[in-house]
Structure 1
Amino acid sequence: MAKLYFRYGTMNSGKSIEVLRVAHNYEEQGKKVLLLTSVVDDRFGVGKVTSRIGMQKNAIAVDDAMNMVEMARTEKPNCILVDEAQFLNTAQVTQLIEIVDELNIPVIAYGLRADFMGELFEGSTALLAAADTIEEIKTVCWYCDKKAIMNMRCKDGEPVFHGEQIQMGGNESYVPVCRKCYASKKKASLTAK
């Protein structure tokens, strides 16, 4: 019986390298994988899953018009992998659920749990509510040795605590932090004003 998995972690926790590793494992065994990513992530080109260590693979860019259920029905993959799943909307997560429940195809979705303000993304909210299995991909805080659970947006090396929810970027724009360091940096930012 297929399952819907949601594997989440902060920025720089290795989610994309994990997607690429799992895709490689399936393909090495001669199995078919559909690799999907959100059309929103255009940092390395639309339809690319790219890890921070430089590995990259072409993927299908998911937009609002895409019918993933029909695509899965036609392509008949052994597994579907989704990178940047936080950018999915609730309807798209519902399609993934249908793929798992009706077509019996496992789906493993990778993404952020929350944004730089600590707010859940729509896709993450839907996946946390519906996934059969939820797993955390861990990394350490940029400032200390505790487990990072939050994403801190930075501009010119300084923490930022306001702005649009979605702003594409890598290490120049985001660092993984623990809750204590996040709160400390936020308090210092407010005090400096």
Structure 2
Amino acid sequence: MAKLYFRYGTMNSGKSIEVLRVAHNYEEQGKKVLLLTPVVDDRFGVGQVASRIGMQKGATVVDEHLDMVALASTERPNCILVDEAQFLSTVQVAQLIEVVDELDIPVIAYGLRADFMGQLFEGSNALLAVADTIEEIKTVCWYCNKKAIMNMRCKDGIPIFHGEQIQIGGNESYVPVCRKCYAANKKKAQN
């Protein structure tokens, strides 16, 4: 019986490299993988899953017009992997549920849990509510040795705590931090 997995972590926790590793493992065994990434993630080019360590692979772009159930019915992959799943809509997560429950195809979705203000993304909220298995991909705080659980947005190396929820970026824009270091930086920014 297939399951819907949500594997979440902060920026720099290795989510995309994990997507690429799992895809490679399936393909090395001669199994078919359907790799998906939301259209909004254009950091390395639209339709690309890329890791900061330099690995990259083309993926099917998920936009508001893509019917993932029809695509999975046609392609019949052994597994579907979704990168940057926080950018999915609730309707798109419902499509993934249908793929798992009706087509018996496992789906593993990777993404951020919350934005730089500590608010859940729409896709993450939906996945946390319905995923069969929820797993955290861990990394350490940029400032100390505690587990990072938050994403802190920076501009020119200075932490900022306001702005649009979605701003695509990497190390130049975000650092993973623990709750204590997040709060200390936010307090410092307010003074």
- Superposition TM-score tier, normalisation by shorter sequence: over 0.9
Percentage identity across aligned positions?
83
Aligned to 1:41: 41
Q: Does 1:175 align with 2:175?
A: yes
Q: Does 1:150 align with 2:172?
A: no
* Residue 126, structure 1, aligned to residue 140, structure 2: no
Which TM-score applies when normalising by structure 1? 0.99
Equivalent position of 2:13 in the other structure: 13
Partner residue in 2 for 1:135: 135
Runs (4+) off by over 4 Å = none
Deviation for aligned residue 1:183? 0.2
1:101 aligns with 2:127: no
Q: Tell me which residue corresponds to 1:52.
A: 52
Which amino acid is 1:76 matched to? R
Counterpart secondary structure, 2:34:
strand
Instruction: Quote the Cα distance in structure 1 between the aligned partners of 2:97 and 2:135.
Output: 17
Once the two structures are superposed, residues 128-171 of structure 1 have per-residue CA deviations (whole angstroms, 9 ceiling, x without a partner) of 00000000000000000000000000000000100000001000
Q: For residues 56 and 75 of structure 1, what CA distance do their matches in structure 2 show? A: 22
In structure 2, give the amino acid aligned to 1:59. Answer: A
Q: Partners of 1:86 and 1:14 in 2: how far apart? A: 15
2-structure distance, mates of 1:168, 1:92:
20
Kindly provide the amino acid, as one letter, of the partner of residue 105 in structure 1: I
CA distance in 1, matches of 2:168, 2:98: 29
Could you tell me which runs of 5 or more consecutive residues in structure 2 were left unpaired when the two chains were aligned: none
One-letter amino acid of the counterpart of residue 78, structure 1: N
Q: Find the counterpart in structure 2 of residue 61 from structure 1.
A: 61
Which amino acid in structure 2 is aligned with residue 154 of structure 1?
C
1:74 maps to 2:60:
no
Amino acid of the residue matched to residue 48 of structure 1? Q
Matched letter for residue 21 of structure 1: R
> What secondary structure, in the 3-state scheme, does the structure 2 residue paired with 1:163 have?
coil
Query: Which residue in the other structure is 1:4 paired with?
Result: 4
Please state whether the residue corresponding to 2:123 is helix, strand or coil: helix
Distance 1:85 1:20 in 2: 15
- Structure 1, unpaired ranges of 5+: none
Q: Partners in 2 of 1:79 and 1:44 — Cα distance?
A: 24
Report the Cα offset of residue 5 of structure 1: 0.0
The alpha-carbon deviation at position 74 of structure 1 amounts to 0.3
The CA distance in 2 between the partners of 1:160 and 1:176, in whole Å, is 13
SS in 1 for 2:21: helix
Superposition RMSD in Å: 0.3
Query: Structure 2: how far apart are the matches of 1:66 and 1:16?
Result: 22
Paired AA for residue 113 in structure 2:
R
